[in-house]
């Protein structure tokens, strides 16, 4: 499969009251067309910053991103983002149908826009609710509207930032299955940021494990599970349990089991160096938070 996304030595620093805070410390990876890649990392390591940089919403302080070969400078036309907080990303004064049509208003005529929105609502099982307002729907249904809106746009890359963190556990499972079904049916390329290790294994073709800030890729794990997944049998399988443990171990500063570099694109780092820097960063972050609260 051709490379859809190429992130090279991406770094971002914020100006803070007490100086400069380096959130991302030089991250490199690629995502092939049709892949679903999950990004996990400790809280505050810069996952959202990474996603916002890839989306062109902020300018990284170093490195570069290309989307199907074109440098990302500003928000690319063929990219869609789904955020955790659906209540802030959907417009309460528009109907569900109009919300889904909204990003298409400049690129398509009315009839085609309506057809695309209706089709996307059908993909997410919401064909009957196009005339309702978003506030008349449950949280899970609202997030399905947000997913439909992103898919109707037919993006080259779908970015998702903790997309299911605001719904209850049962709805989360349903939305995970919905995402797997619709993105596979449409061969979508997806990058999902999540803090949930189980979710990263359940959804991903690959998992990128980030260190604490300034974050780096400490492991690029291939999810060796059948593409057809099931909330019960997949989660019970030995391969799932093993990969979940390995991801958790790496997240808590364990050394990558492999002695070879974690990704060909990532600057090779010694696992011990990463682990100890991670612990240092977490201690610094805890101290920083304690002094600011």
Measured CA to CA, the distance from residue 23 to residue 178 in angstroms comes to: 32
209, 256 Cβ separation under 8 angstroms: no
| Least gap, CB of 138 to ligand ATP (angstroms) | 24
Q: Which residue has the tokens 């260190």?
A: 211
The answer to whether 155 touches 190, Cβ cutoff 8 Å, is: no
Considering only 11, 25, 26, 46, the residue that binds ligand ATP (CB under 6 A) is 46
Q: Does 45 bind ligand ATP (CB under 6 A)?
A: yes
Q: Does 49 bind ligand ATP (CB under 6 A)?
A: yes
Q: Looking up tokens 């605001």, which residue turns up? A: 166
43 belongs to the binding site for ligand ATP (CB under 6 A): yes
Binding-site member from 23, 152, 182, 251 for ligand ATP (CB under 6 A)? 23
Taking CB under 6 A as the rule, does residue 7 contact ligand ATP?
Answer: no
Distance of closest approach, residue 118 Cβ to ligand ATP, in angstroms: 34
Q: 127: which 2 tokens?
A: 């064909």
Between 134 and 247, CB nearer to ligand ATP: 247
Q: Quote the DSSP letter at residue 92.
A: T
Q: Token digits for 73? A: 């400078």
Which residue, 210 or 262, has its beta carbon nearer to ligand ATP? 210
Site for ligand ATP, residues 186 to 225, rule: CB under 6 A? 195, 213
E-strand ranges in 17-151 read: 19-32, 36-40, 62-67, 70-71, 79-82
Residue 255 interacts with ligand ATP (CB under 6 A)?
no
Q: How far is the CB of 49 from ligand ATP (least distance, A)?
A: 3
Smallest distance, ligand ATP to C-beta of residue 274, A: 16
Q: How far is the CB of 10 from ligand ATP (least distance, A)?
A: 12
Q: How far is the CB of 286 from ligand ATP (least distance, A)?
A: 11
Nearer to ligand ATP, 35 or 282 (CB): 282
Kindly tell me which residue out of 13, 28, 48, 194 binds ligand ATP, with binding defined by CB under 6 A: 48
CA distances for 48 relative to 31, 131, 192, 194, angstroms: 17, 33, 10, 10
Nearer to ligand ATP among residue 46 and residue 204 (C-beta): 46
The whole-angstrom separation of Cα 67 and Cα 78 is 9
Residues 262, 217 contacting (CB under 8 angstroms) = yes
When asked if residue 286 is in the footprint of ligand ATP (CB under 6 A), the reply is: no
Cis upstream peptide for 6 (omega within 30°): no
Cα–Cα distances in angstroms (integers) from residue 29 to residues 14, 61, 179, 191, 210, in the given order: 22, 17, 23, 12, 11
Q: Which is nearer to ligand ATP, 49 or 143 (CB)?
A: 49
Binding site for ligand ATP (CB under 6 A): 14, 16, 21, 23, 41, 43-49, 195, 213
């Amino acid at each position: 499969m051709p490379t859809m996304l190429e992130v090279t030595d991406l770094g971002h620093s914020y100006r803070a009251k007490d100086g400069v805070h380096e959130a991302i410390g030089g991250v490199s990876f690629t995502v092939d067309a049709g892949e679903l890649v999950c990004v996990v990392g400790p809280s505050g390591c810069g996952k959202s910053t990474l996603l916002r940089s890839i989306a062109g919403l902020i300018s990284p302080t170093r490195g570069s991103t290309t989307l199907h070969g074109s440098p990302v400078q500003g928000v690319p036309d063929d990219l869609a983002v789904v955020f955790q907080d659906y209540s802030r990303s959907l417009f309460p004064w528009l109907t569900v149908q109009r919300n889904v049509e909204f990003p298409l208003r400049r690129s398509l005529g009315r009839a085609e826009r309506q057809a695309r929105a209706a089709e996307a609502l059908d993909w997410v099982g919401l064909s009957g609710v196009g005339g309702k307002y978003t506030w008349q729907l449950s949280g899970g249904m609202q997030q399905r509207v947000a997913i439909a809106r992103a898919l109707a746009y037919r993006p080259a890359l779908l970015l998702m930032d903790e997309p299911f963190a605001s719904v209850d556990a049962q709805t989360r499972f349903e939305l995970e299955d919905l995402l797997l079904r619709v993105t596979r049916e449409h061969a979508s390329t997806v990058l999902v940021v999540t803090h949930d290790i189980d979710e990263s294994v359940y959804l991903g073709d690959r998992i990128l494990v980030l260190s604490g800030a300034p974050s780096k890729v400490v492991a690029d794990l291939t999810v060796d599970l059948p593409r057809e997944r099931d909330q019960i049998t997949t989660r019970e399988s030995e391969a799932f349990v093993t990969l979940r443990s390995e991801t958790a171990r790496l997240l808590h500063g364990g050394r990558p089991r492999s002695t070879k570099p974690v990704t060909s694109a990532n600057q090779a780092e010694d696992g011990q160096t990463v682990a100890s820097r991670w612990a240092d960063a977490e201690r610094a972050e805890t101290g920083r938070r304690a002094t600011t609260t």
